[in-house]
Structure 1
């Protein structure tokens, strides 16, 4: 605790000192104009950015109505970039000297290129490899309209989603952020939020395996930041869209439907920006689940086979609204409220939910179950944010955020089982009803400062505090041979305090460096009230980050990075309450589960605009996973536990938007990963995994665009499991009409009907029922859907002066624009 206080005090002292230093900067003035190349006339309201050679932002401004701009920065080498809707970006290299610098006019050309009769207006690459992250520009994808966030994130290179809704990047669990803030969700809760987020509201995904000290240290695999679209147009603007489709499956005898409708509205003036959006979706998906345990009892084969067909229907809603108030040139106050909710029903009947126990060729027991699982979730997220700019010339500012998150989740699980033993003719009925009520409340506050120090370096510093409380009550009632009533109550509280410092600098035109240190103090208390058991934990950790970049030429770049991160157990992994997957399979948490720590280093190289290569190594200690067990009655239990350490060595090669022809671009990413997991008292679980992602983009005449993407991952070891291979393919077609205001989309998801999660359980070799020869879990998802969407955009297409520099990522104010989850 004492070390945390010292670090916090130091961070605040540096913030104060840095601001005083920034005020004394000796800066130069840069003036110029932006003109239309064809007419020679001025281009008013153009966004102008002054960037350093490493593409970081030094200063920014918006032209007046006469196309004139004025910037301030320290002397040195820079690149001026001009951006305006409908025009190609214009660049100019400048050498800023002390005093006044008058720059020659920047001439901009209209952004319309005719290729075989096709009008090409979308210039942003689908996938971009940046020096510290991989960016997937979802808004450029033909799949965006008519999809939700969950559909789209599955297409990101290296991303997979397991049977519990957890998201991993290259085999490691990541934290999902939205517009620069943590979502506070994982597993099924995160899955529900992503399902209720319209794909048309998303701008891009940022996949950061090495986040800087500014970000929370949570997440072994790093962070996936979902950036939503921001309104930069004056007046009243909006869009409304709908998407409908379905598919018939002969195996299940069902037509599975999918439909959603979404709309957004914004009104922006020079002083305020108000926005509101809404989404409603219905999504059917059946799951064929098969759990096959093969054992030996006294030399005789013994098999427990559970087969079920779960028929699912997901309903999701989301409403979000907010406002930014541009008080003056240096101060902005904003708020946003997000209210997603969902209702999911999963059911099965006796004919399609059967568990048998067989000894040799004799059936000892047969159980048939009818189940009804219902889950209702209501969330309320609120954010209040304030930004003050100390000095526009040095881009020095402080942003304060206060967030509140509330989730009320209710689950009802109704099981009716009929059991018949060998030689018996009568069925023995039994019932099990589970009523679970779970509430999560999170409060957080943070302050982030950034500015220029020592005339050449960028400083980031800040502090954060977060309080999380969960309260779970579960009632279980059983009838039949094992009739009983039980109540389980578990409460959990966690405080996290954090502070960080980060310094970045450029040494000459070729070298850049960034280093940071984040300290996090965690205090937690778990109270298993019904069992009279308590667990307390208090710990302080330091998380260093370091980065060095070397650019010997404009077409060659190298980067070396290191980061240390933590993976705290999810709230559900700590909850000791039984959570049933089907009538005979359930999982249980462990209140004493410890966090895992990982260290990762990587070396990357970029070649030209289209190629990059990266090698990485990571070591994780205290890994936790679900340990499979067989109970005496044949039920399968998955219990969370710490199991050991894991090393991963990876080599990644990327091809980004490589022009194969004037009408065809190719994106490709492949990773070779060797994983070695040392499990306590057991042999290592090792594997070599190859994963590939590819996307072909066809630019066709008459504003048609077609995308074909695919993904493959070979078998992979993780914890107590060996995951089978995965592969998928999707087709998307997009047609823009009426000056890009009307968008038609046609999509076919899961073309090969290959969506599944299959894995071997390696966690046990012997049980009370005998020695285990093999244990396999197979889940097939009936997710192929053909759907058509239509989106209409309306309003004024004119930019107004923005508080920060246009679409420059480094200048985007966190929390100031349109977003979700308090973003």
Structure 2
């Protein structure tokens, strides 16, 4: 009840805020409109301020802001007006005697930069780290010093509404049913997101886009929404680029280069990267076991060192060829190679029922892995005579090969017992994609979109475990498995959007997806084919009160298909009494997603608030259970995903960008949600016993993130962000709360051609996952930290790319990479 009382004031505030904005509007007599461009480049200026004052009656004033295309419109009374156009770093443009008698368009107005002022406000003129829009949030990685020298996991863990746990699992608004794309595609490294979070360098990422309720043009995959990671691709004229070097502790040596050469006929771009790193983490499982009467039988404490050494190379080479003024052909080739060593030690402390020490056991694992990925993409884009009328055809193929080998030595000196094990895990995946998008403007404001997407994947995972018995290696058939996963998905979509009135617009569409999926366990000849197709409609309504505030109501139907480690029964055996086991019989879950959002802009402030509700059938839930006993009688705890009957999730999500002074910028995010699960789970353990557990559960949870960037004397930038994840109850226990922070200092040198950055990731060495689990036969306290505190020093040098170029790129923030037919 106390938590219910906490959410009521939040929801009340949100709806009062919406209501006050609605009723505050009063109809006016005329509309004044126009477009604002940057004079030297012709780039639209977003967020330029337009001020209108009646020349006969100064008490009559109005105004607005430009949108992503530089357009503005607002209501005024008829009369003669003094118009003023302001944008930070540009000379103020003043227009006198602008007569408004009925709807009036003042045409295109071009503003010129004020060079002296520009030098003084370079920091403020850069685009914001977080851009808040009504339908999405855009996180500009290049503006965030915190993630220099980090990974994609560090990047996503700084994005509003997004969290990444200690094992690399990505959540959106606290929901792990999220679809992550790389450059708008589900192929390549995007097929293994948890691994991508660890090996993809932050320096290779340009920005991240978050769409919480996608329309029919996007893949229906992802009940919580879509996260699109956009990699860097140079666009500047001539030869230009940047080079970044990083050193860190624990060991982190990085080199990244982004270079492009653009002429009138083509644009060549490349990204090259190298990393040699070492990270340290840990895991803890403290277990208490009970008999059938609830009496303690023993304690086993498990402690694990998570060590990881990686040497990786990556390269992207791309060519945009402007065949004609309206046709562009782009070809991109990406290759990555990573060699990984994970020497881990797991120690076990055995205690009797009185918590008295009995003996220790140690498992020494030496795991080596190499991963090779290659992907080729070709795209043809045709721009027709009418603006926004275009056709895009894209195809890509990729191949990923992962090989792991582990040697395990198990020593229990007190029992005079040693054992040896080894495992191999070989994965090979091939994927292809074909995509067609067509966009047709209709009339003044209508737009029809249609398209096709075909994705085709084949992945084989061969995990083999061997035990040494009498100096002979014997295959452990109970824990070995070869899993074959094949997926063919064909999709068509159609949607149409237009204005109903001057302020009210709509977007309605439907997507049809046909799925043909094989999940085959080859060793035991268990073949499972799942064929299904369905329609996924979406509807959006948008009401604009003025250029600075609008509200959107939306609905979409989504699907979440189980893949990868969710399905694989075995792929890891570091611990022999606590391990993860995939479920090859998982069914897809389907979600009805509703969202009500409000966006308001003031000078220096942008606020976005959303209320959302999701109903998911056959929801995935991770459960822990007793899966049998080891050779010495120790219970084995297995974690697996299962399908529960239904999950209800609703909450409020608020994001705020605030610039109180020229030298201080703040952005914050707050997400509060309630989840309700209903369902029972029946399983058979390793010993053949049938058990049923009830997973009905109601839980409240919230997390909040705040980032502050301050310009200190001598133009030193200081940035700090913090995040708090509140405790959350589950059907089997509780996930503990967690507070973490990052810190960074940055200084431009060499006449702003270079930047030196010092940052500390996980300042208090506190970012970890801590939980308690209560089972009928055991109680467990777990802690997991994948990587501890990281300190990095980075140096970036820009050639033929002055820092002020960021200002020009930042103006066209509507070019998000997800507009129109960029992603399906």
Write the distance in 2 (CA, Å) between the matches of 1:536 and 1:593: 12
Cα-to-partner distance string for 1:638-662 (whole Å, 9 max, x where unaligned)? 2332233211121122221x23334
1:320 is the counterpart of 2:332: no
8 Å CA contact 2:241, 2:801 repeated in 1: no
Partner of 1:339: 335
**5 Å matches for 1:122-201?**
122-173=125-176, 174-183=178-187, 185=189, 189-201=192-204
1:557/1:101 Cα in 2 relative to 1: closer, same or farther (>3 Å)? closer
8 Å CA contact 1:235, 1:796 repeated in 2: no
Out of 93, 109, 115, the residue aligned to residue 113 of structure 2 is: 109
Partner of 2:752: 740
Out of 559, 573, 581, the residue aligned to residue 580 of structure 1 is: 573
Write the distance in 1 (CA, Å) between the matches of 2:344 and 2:436: 50
8 Å CA contact 1:371, 1:583 repeated in 2: no
8 Å CA contact 2:752, 2:802 repeated in 1: no
Out of 792, 795, 800, the residue aligned to residue 797 of structure 2 is: 792
**5 Å matches for 1:283-322?**
283-297=277-291, 298=293, 299-322=295-318
1:688/1:805 Cα in 2 relative to 1: closer, same or farther (>3 Å)? closer
Q: Report the 3-state secondary structure (helix = DSSP H, G, I; strand = E; otherwise coil) of the residue aligned with 1:150.
A: helix
8 Å CA contact 1:48, 1:805 repeated in 2: no
Aligned length: 734
Write the distance in 2 (CA, Å) between the matches of 1:560 and 1:310: 45
Partner of 1:411: 404
1:727/1:282 Cα in 2 relative to 1: closer, same or farther (>3 Å)? farther
Write the distance in 2 (CA, Å) between the matches of 1:499 and 1:736: 49
Out of 629, 632, 649, the residue aligned to residue 632 of structure 1 is: 629
Partner of 2:274: 280
8 Å CA contact 2:675, 2:698 repeated in 1: yes
Write the distance in 2 (CA, Å) between the matches of 1:59 and 1:553: 15
Out of 380, 383, 388, the residue aligned to residue 389 of structure 1 is: 383
1:611/1:812 Cα in 2 relative to 1: closer, same or farther (>3 Å)? closer
TM-score by length of 1: 0.81
Write the distance in 1 (CA, Å) between the matches of 2:367 and 2:157: 25
**5 Å matches for 1:200-211?**
200-211=203-214
Partner of 2:543: 550
Partner of 1:460: 449
Cα-to-partner distance string for 1:23-44 (whole Å, 9 max, x where unaligned)? xxxxxxx999978xxxxxxx45
Partner of 2:703: 691
1:798/1:91 Cα in 2 relative to 1: closer, same or farther (>3 Å)? farther
Cα-to-partner distance string for 1:757-777 (whole Å, 9 max, x where unaligned)? 122335x42xxxxx33x2222
More divergent stretch after superposition (637-646 vs 556-565): 637-646
1:136/1:722 Cα in 2 relative to 1: closer, same or farther (>3 Å)? same
Write the distance in 2 (CA, Å) between the matches of 1:83 and 1:231: 30
Write the distance in 2 (CA, Å) between the matches of 1:585 and 1:541: 38
Give the deviation of 1:469 after TM superposition. 0.3
Give the deviation of 1:720 after TM superposition. 5.2
8 Å CA contact 1:345, 1:375 repeated in 2: yes
Write the distance in 2 (CA, Å) between the matches of 1:126 and 1:683: 40
Partner of 2:555: 562
Give the deviation of 1:782 after TM superposition. 4.7
Give the deviation of 1:301 after TM superposition. 4.1
8 Å CA contact 2:156, 2:164 repeated in 1: no
1:484/1:364 Cα in 2 relative to 1: closer, same or farther (>3 Å)? farther
8 Å CA contact 1:358, 1:365 repeated in 2: no
Partner of 1:26: none
Partner of 2:690: none
Q: Report the 3-state secondary structure (helix = DSSP H, G, I; strand = E; otherwise coil) of the residue aligned with 1:592.
A: coil
8 Å CA contact 1:82, 1:106 repeated in 2: no
Write the distance in 1 (CA, Å) between the matches of 2:817 and 2:490: 25
Give the deviation of 1:356 after TM superposition. 2.3
Q: Report the 3-state secondary structure (helix = DSSP H, G, I; strand = E; otherwise coil) of the residue aligned with 1:360.
A: coil
1:547/1:414 Cα in 2 relative to 1: closer, same or farther (>3 Å)? same
1:625/1:81 Cα in 2 relative to 1: closer, same or farther (>3 Å)? farther
Give the deviation of 1:343 after TM superposition. 2.3
8 Å CA contact 2:504, 2:541 repeated in 1: yes
Q: Report the 3-state secondary structure (helix = DSSP H, G, I; strand = E; otherwise coil) of the residue aligned with 1:327.
A: strand
1:728 is the counterpart of 2:740: yes
Unpaired runs of 5+ residues, structure 2, are: 1-32, 49-63, 72-82, 681-692
Q: Report the 3-state secondary structure (helix = DSSP H, G, I; strand = E; otherwise coil) of the residue aligned with 1:608.
A: strand
Q: Report the 3-state secondary structure (helix = DSSP H, G, I; strand = E; otherwise coil) of the residue aligned with 2:126.
A: coil
Give the deviation of 1:593 after TM superposition. 0.9
8 Å CA contact 1:563, 1:600 repeated in 2: yes
8 Å CA contact 1:321, 1:336 repeated in 2: yes
Write the distance in 2 (CA, Å) between the matches of 1:753 and 1:215: 38
Q: Report the 3-state secondary structure (helix = DSSP H, G, I; strand = E; otherwise coil) of the residue aligned with 1:143.
A: helix
Give the deviation of 1:435 after TM superposition. 0.8
Write the distance in 1 (CA, Å) between the matches of 2:766 and 2:338: 27
Greater relative contact order, per chain length (Cα 8 Å cut-off, separation 6+): 1
**5 Å matches for 1:192-271?**
192-246=195-249, 256-271=250-265
Give the deviation of 1:786 after TM superposition. 1.9
Write the distance in 2 (CA, Å) between the matches of 1:82 and 1:501: 39
Give the deviation of 1:614 after TM superposition. 1.7
More divergent stretch after superposition (737-746 vs 264-273): 737-746
Give the deviation of 1:101 after TM superposition. 8.8
Q: Report the 3-state secondary structure (helix = DSSP H, G, I; strand = E; otherwise coil) of the residue aligned with 2:127.
A: coil
Cα-to-partner distance string for 1:368-389 (whole Å, 9 max, x where unaligned)? 1111122221111110100011
Write the distance in 2 (CA, Å) between the matches of 1:306 and 1:206: 40
8 Å CA contact 1:240, 1:263 repeated in 2: yes
1:506 is the counterpart of 2:492: no
8 Å CA contact 2:620, 2:641 repeated in 1: yes
Give the deviation of 1:784 after TM superposition. 1.0
8 Å CA contact 1:287, 1:781 repeated in 2: yes
Give the deviation of 1:183 after TM superposition. 4.8
1:380 is the counterpart of 2:385: no
8 Å CA contact 1:383, 1:404 repeated in 2: yes
1:616/1:239 Cα in 2 relative to 1: closer, same or farther (>3 Å)? same
Cα-to-partner distance string for 1:495-518 (whole Å, 9 max, x where unaligned)? 000011121212333212112211
1:702 is the counterpart of 2:714: yes
Partner of 2:361: 367
**5 Å matches for 1:582-621?**
582-609=575-602, 610-621=606-617
Partner of 2:326: 330
Write the distance in 2 (CA, Å) between the matches of 1:444 and 1:333: 17
**5 Å matches for 1:17-166?**
43-48=39-44, 103=107, 105-110=109-114, 113=117, 119-120=122-123, 122-166=125-169
Q: State the Cα RMSD in Å.
A: 3.8
8 Å CA contact 1:623, 1:644 repeated in 2: yes
Write the distance in 1 (CA, Å) between the matches of 2:89 and 2:66: 23
Partner of 2:15: none
Partner of 2:418: 429
Write the distance in 2 (CA, Å) between the matches of 1:87 and 1:738: 25
Write the distance in 1 (CA, Å) between the matches of 2:565 and 2:212: 25
Q: Report the 3-state secondary structure (helix = DSSP H, G, I; strand = E; otherwise coil) of the residue aligned with 2:694.
A: coil
Partner of 1:783: 788
8 Å CA contact 1:128, 1:134 repeated in 2: yes
8 Å CA contact 2:284, 2:301 repeated in 1: yes
Write the distance in 1 (CA, Å) between the matches of 2:284 and 2:275: 29
Write the distance in 2 (CA, Å) between the matches of 1:182 and 1:700: 42
